[in-house]
A and B are shown apart, each in its own frame.
Chain A
Amino acid sequence: MKTEALIAMLANGPVQVAPGAVARRVLAAVAVGGAVALGVVLAALRLRPDLAAAVHAPMFWLKLAVPVVVAALAIVAVRRLARPGGRAGPVVAIGAVLAVVLAAFAVADVALAPAGERAAIVLGRTALPCVVLVTALSLPGLAALFVALRSLAPTRLRAAGAAAGALAAGVGAAIYALHCNEMTLPFVAVWYALGMAVPAALGALLGPRWLRWS
């Protein structure tokens, strides 16, 4: 086909598009992933039984805040990386600084605790389920975000995959926090972080292959 013919054909159909497609599709994917994860927590895992009392503890909100901040930073990165030529931008540096701050508080928490309690406040009682379930609750969101990204046009596929993984992980971990009854900062800094790192790494691993569009 001649190029002019192609151009005429492309311009022959409707060309108009509504602005804001990137934001809409990313948010829809987050909503789908979050809804599925919330459904699993409500139906299978159950909310923590003392939820009504826990909401008065600052630690409950801090535990929720960590993944929410991860998700907030990651959604900025995903929206930028979803466009041709887009880069993650300054959110990576901001995230790194916040991670260092969180780690510092966690280390201080451990250092200030009586020697006999140190292991307990780091390990908690649910370390392994935490990592596994945070990862599992992130997977629906990761899948939905990959579908959304494939309809957009990322050109840095590994970064886009990692950002999608981090976003899904932030949402998944925030919802898991409604079920989890661990109440120490070092636990969050180690096991939540690990649980969120797995989907991010998975996204980075799968991005170059699965986010390819043509």
Chain B
Amino acid sequence: MEDVEEALRSALLLALSGDNEAYVAFLTRTGAHLRSYFRRRLASSPNDVEDLVQETLLAIHNRRHTFEPTARLMPWLYAIARYKLIDLLRAQSPRRAIEVALDDDEGIAELVHADASPAETRRDLARLLDALPDRYRLPIVLVKLEGRSVAEAAQATGISQAAIKVGIHRGLKKLAAIVAKRR
């Protein structure tokens, strides 16, 4: 997470001091983050995702003078992305806009982790899962990632079905806590 912040931030700072190649790199990588961030938020209207990515990149460009060089970049990017998302949702349905508005700062970590390449996401996830004990990790890997049923997972691991369910539930809670702490 720190690497994303640092990498993007230094690219933007280079760009703002006149390095246009760094700017292309910054926008491309930011666009990839935005794409998976919006994709998750707009599951029901995937056609809007790319439009919103472009609109947000344009807003970042037009408002780049509001980035303070000493400040953190991710909260700034996230605030613009969220502002654009709420704008779109408000046009479609006021209720959804309110829901997004309410979930305030939830999403910074999500934006950071909303990585461009699936491979990178998988690596991040693997690192996170490593922090869990087996009794939580295995149920999550088998059921949530590999898509097996609870019964199959129970058979494969020799744990009871009830324990698999509990393991998933507690494991996901723990993961959320880890992610929240990293933020």
Interface on A for B, CB 8 Å cutoff? 1, 3-4, 6-8, 10-12, 15-19, 21-22, 82-86, 152-153, 155, 213-214
B64 to A17, Cβ gap below 8 A? yes
- Indicate with 1 or 0, residue by residue over B66-78, a CB within 8 angstroms of chain A CB atoms: 1111010001111
Interface on B for A, CB 8 Å cutoff? 15-21, 23-24, 27-28, 31, 50, 53-55, 57-59, 61, 63-69, 71, 75-80, 82-83, 87
Q: Which of B65, B79, B87 is the one whose CB lies under 8 Å from A17?
A: B65
Chain B nearest CB from A174 CB (Å) reads 28
Chain B nearest CB from A85 CB (Å) reads 3
A19 to B69, Cβ gap below 8 A? yes
In the assembled complex, the Cα of A82 lies from the Cα of B61 at a distance in Å of 16
Q: Which of B54, B79, B87 is the one whose CB lies under 8 Å from A214?
A: B87
Q: Which of B21, B55, B79 is the one whose CB lies under 8 Å from A85?
A: B79
A15 to B57, Cβ gap below 8 A? no
**Residues in chain B near residue A4, CB distance under 8 A:** 28
Q: Provide the main secondary structure of the chain A interface.
A: loop
B68 to A10, Cβ gap below 8 A? no
Q: Which of A3, A10, A83, A85 is the one whose CB lies under 8 Å from B23?
A: A10
B66 to A7, Cβ gap below 8 A? no
**Residues in chain B near residue A1, CB distance under 8 A:** 54
B24 to A11, Cβ gap below 8 A? yes
* Given known A8-B24, A15-B18, A15-B20, contact A83–B68 (CB-CB < 8 A): yes
Q: Which of B16, B31, B83 is the one whose CB lies under 8 Å from A15?
A: B16
**Residues in chain B near residue A213, CB distance under 8 A:** 63
Q: Which of B19, B31, B58, B79 is the one whose CB lies under 8 Å from A84?
A: B79
Given A83-B71, A214-B59, 5 additional A-B pairs, CB 8 A: A6-B54, A10-B61, A12-B20, A83-B76, A155-B82
Could you list 26 A-B pairs, sorted by A, with CB under 8 Å?
Answer: A3-B31, A3-B50, A3-B57, A6-B54, A6-B58, A7-B24, A7-B28, A7-B57, A10-B61, A11-B15, A11-B21, A11-B27, A15-B20, A15-B23, A16-B16, A21-B65, A82-B66, A83-B66, A84-B63, A84-B79, A84-B83, A85-B75, A86-B79, A152-B63, A153-B80, A153-B83
In the assembled complex, the Cα of A19 lies from the Cα of B77 at a distance in Å of 18
**Residues in chain B near residue A153, CB distance under 8 A:** 59, 63, 66, 80, 83
In the assembled complex, the Cα of A19 lies from the Cα of B18 at a distance in Å of 12
A10 to B57, Cβ gap below 8 A? yes
In the assembled complex, the Cα of A3 lies from the Cα of B49 at a distance in Å of 11
**Residues in chain A near residue B50, CB distance under 8 A:** 3
In the assembled complex, the Cα of A7 lies from the Cα of B32 at a distance in Å of 12
B54 to A22, Cβ gap below 8 A? no
A152 to B31, Cβ gap below 8 A? no
Residue of A nearest to B70 (CB): A19
